[in-house]
Amino acid sequence: MTDCNFEFYRKHLENTLRKPVHHPSMNAMTAISPGSAQPSPRAATWLRLSLSLPWLILAVSLFTTYYLWQAAQSEAKGLLQNDFDFRVHDAGSRTKQRMLAYEQVLRGAQGLFASSRSVERGEFHAYNDKLHLDQNYPGIQGVGFAQIVPPAGKDKFISTIRQRPPHLFARGACNGPGCARPRLDRGSAAVIKY
């Protein structure tokens, strides 16, 4: 803006402020003149409104901010709950699948015993080797065969086992802390044969 234009607008503004303000909806009694000491009731209302408008805008802004914050927090909680539910369901599904796989291994061993008159130690170990438990079923530490020995058949069972190599129940064969011997003196026992 050039100096000439600036001077023109300054003079125009001064002239406008010296004249009384008239609006078609205002009559002569409500006109606001620059020199009047008391504003009209309409001007006082406008002044009160203009002073309370920033507070109203602040209140509306705070309410809107609080509402949006609550909505965002609720949405975040919902997303976390959905993620948690998915992970719980996923863990349950994986556990169920793993248990079904372990059950299949046991059913395979059951089939081995059902298809043969007697399964010997070497046959059972060959079956276990073919399963590749450490690669295919990482949670299984081993598959074995346990025979239930009633108290009346204890002596016969021990003599039969001692005759077969390796001699599991040989006297003095296992005396260390890691040695597990069946306690056949308490009634029926389930003894892991192989």
Length of the chain: 194
pLDDT, tens digit, 9 for 90 and up, residues 38-53: 667 777 787 777 888 8
The H or E element spanning position 92 is helix 41-114
pTM of the entire predicted model:
0.49
| Residue 55 pLDDT exceeds 70 | yes
DSSP label at residue 140:
-
Q: Are 109 and 150 in contact (CB under 8 A)?
A: no
CA distance 89 to 188: 41
pLDDT, tens digit, 9 for 90 and up, residues 73-105: 999 999 999 999 999 999 999 999 999 989 999
Q: Are 132 and 140 in contact (CB under 8 A)?
A: no
